[in-house]
Amino acid sequence: MPGGAWSRNAFFDLGFPDKWKIIECKMVDAPPISTHDIRIAFENPIGSKSLKFSGKGKNRAVVAVEDISRPTILQPVLKRLIVELKGAGLEKEDITFLICNGAHPPMLRKDILMKLGKDILKDYRVINHNPYDNLIETDVVQGNTRLKINRYYFTADLRIAVGSIIPHSMAGFSSGAKLILPGLSDIATLERTHKFAMMGFRGGVNDVEENKFRQDLESAASGIGMDFFVGVVPNSRQEIAGVFTGDMVAAHRAGVNFARNIYETKVTSSCDILILNAYPKDSDLFQAETAFTPLRASDKEFVRKEGIVVIVSRCSNGLGHHSLFGPGMRLYRKPIQRSLLKGRDLIFFSSNIQQAEFNTMFWSGYKFVNKWASLLSLLKERFQGVREVMVFPCAPLQLVKCVF
């Protein structure tokens, strides 16, 4: 299976007893597109004028880009974006790249090199968003509060946003308006939007059509403004499989349709043991949560009642950090049983975190192991004879379609 996104990015082997039946559930997937394809996507925007046209006469452009918690390697698409901006008459000093951190930690130099590429870091100003400072109050109201947004973004006369369109447990799919809210918002707004979704009032994976959480985000982002959106759909190896440019909503929806096709994963039977690999979002324990996507997306249960769910995550950066859900933060709660498991046991396997870190994020009744042999011992104790094991190699991306 693949592992180590933004780290060692390599394949590793999982061994199972000979008598067990192993079913590898791969998504449809897609190859990386060419630089020619990327150029064509920029020259044919959806629902808006081209970036070259939109940028004419503008003096200060801000390119809001997703942070490293999202999987896509952005260098190829940013290289084309720079060509478009130069074609509109903007110079290097007129362009700023702004990282949409939201409540995530700021990106360090090594992160920026991997995500944006050395040419961006060498030639352009790159700034991390801070949800506590450098904010400006807008006329957009959510609840009874005016939304505050990053000052650099709001005061620019050309506002562009670039991000990955992948499954998201609250917004249906990531990116689009989500780059602005919560990506560039103040901490109070982040708390409010996430709290409603956590309480189950809004949101759901693979739903953008009826998703009230996304509707709220798009309404707010429309009030703030986005002149041009670039949506990228990554494949199973963090490469760009599709690019969709133009209007914040129209281009995002086109990207969603494409993503649904390549992330579709057919399941033809139920299993005793479900292995969910957190790649390509296996950088830390917070992001490993996204490995539950196949369970969230399925309209049928495909793990037997007495079955076990296993999450595998490299967690190269250990626990990670989140300004809302981290220990001691305003939305942190003592972990409880996950309702989506419906009483089934969970085992978490990672060689890069410790028991205490695991206990900050997962219920104490679930098990943590840091050696594969220990995991196999637990499974052998539980199951006798021939068993069916289902393996999802890129679980955060995989949208299950049950055909049994």
Both 89 and 62 in one domain: the answer is yes
Helix (H, G, I), strand (E, B) or coil at 237: coil
User: Amino acid letter at 258?
Assistant: F
With beta carbons less than 8 A apart as the criterion, state whether 281 and 5 touch: yes
Supply the CATH number for residue 79's domain: 3.40.50.11440
The residue among 261, 280, 315 that closes a domain is 261
Helix/strand/coil percent split, the chain, to 5: 30, 25, 45
Domain that holds residue 107: 35-261
Both 224 and 306 in one domain: the answer is no
With beta carbons less than 8 A apart as the criterion, state whether 244 and 255 touch: yes
Give the pLDDT of residue 196: 67
Both 86 and 50 in one domain: the answer is yes
Both 303 and 228 in one domain: the answer is no
Both 222 and 289 in one domain: the answer is no
Both 217 and 277 in one domain: the answer is no
The residue among 218, 243, 261 that closes a domain is 261
Domain count, the chain: 2
Give the pLDDT of residue 258: 98
Q: How many C-beta neighbours within 10 Å does residue 398 have? A: 26
Q: How many C-beta neighbours within 10 Å does residue 79 have? A: 14
Both 62 and 134 in one domain: the answer is yes
Which parts of the chain have pLDDT scores under 70?
A: 196-202
Measured in residues, the chain has a length of: 404
Both 6 and 100 in one domain: the answer is no
Give the pLDDT of residue 198: 67
Helix (H, G, I), strand (E, B) or coil at 184: coil
In terms of DSSP bridges, do strands 172-173 and 167-168 run parallel, antiparallel, or are they unpaired?
antiparallel
**Closest CA relative to residue 38, chosen from 247, 231, 248:** 231
User: Cα 82–249–259 angle (5° rounding)?
Assistant: 80
Distances (CA, A) of 35 to 41, 199, 246: 10, 43, 18
Both 156 and 242 in one domain: the answer is yes
The residue among 240, 261, 282 that closes a domain is 261
With beta carbons less than 8 A apart as the criterion, state whether 348 and 322 touch: no
Both 253 and 280 in one domain: the answer is no
Both 287 and 376 in one domain: the answer is yes
Supply the CATH number for residue 280's domain: 3.90.226.30
Both 371 and 245 in one domain: the answer is no
Give the pLDDT of residue 384: 86
